[in-house]
Structure 1
Amino acid sequence: MELADTPNLASFYCPGCSPGRDPFEEILTVRWCDLHQPRYGGSDDDRAKVSRDILTSTGEAEGATNREWCQFVHRTAKRLNSAKRSYSKAKS
């Protein structure tokens, strides 16, 4: 089955219009109405490095934003693996 053939089981809802709906009880997709749409252009929005192009934006951190964390995590993992190998060699 192709992804395009998969039915969407989620219901659209606006948290401002339907605050009582529980995403733990049902499958929901947030779809803000014009009245409750969050404002854009705040100080945090200026610091975020997210594409404004609707065709490329996924709503998640892009490579430029995440690069430092990725390097930190993988550097730490490499050190742990290296230490485990050194310990195993010393033990045998």
Structure 2
Amino acid sequence: MLDECREIVVTPDFENGLLEFLLGDSGKWMNVAEFCRKWNYHINGLTGFEHMFWMPWPEGGVDCVVIMFYDTEELDSMAATYNKARLQESVAERVLARRS
């Protein structure tokens, strides 16, 4: 699970999907396989039992969030700190560049 979750938070190809996910409600579970299908992402090794949700950074502020991944089959979890503000800037720059 660790490699698959790491791929989601570090691969630029996932940024558009992550931005939509992070603009949604915090604390709302999403199946990782469904997330990948929706955005046409391909990750080897997904069993379909992995889920994820995000929550605000515990110390406050709006720039960072925590993304939690949970594997219901292995009863394992992983957390990733994610810079939401950087993601929004990155995606906005790409959208503006396409319009130019």
TM-score if structure 1 supplies the norm length? 0.25
Task: Work out which structure has the larger RCO, using CA pairs closer than 8 Å and 6 or more positions apart in sequence.
Answer: 2
Rg comparison, structure with higher value: 1
TM-score if structure 2 supplies the norm length? 0.23
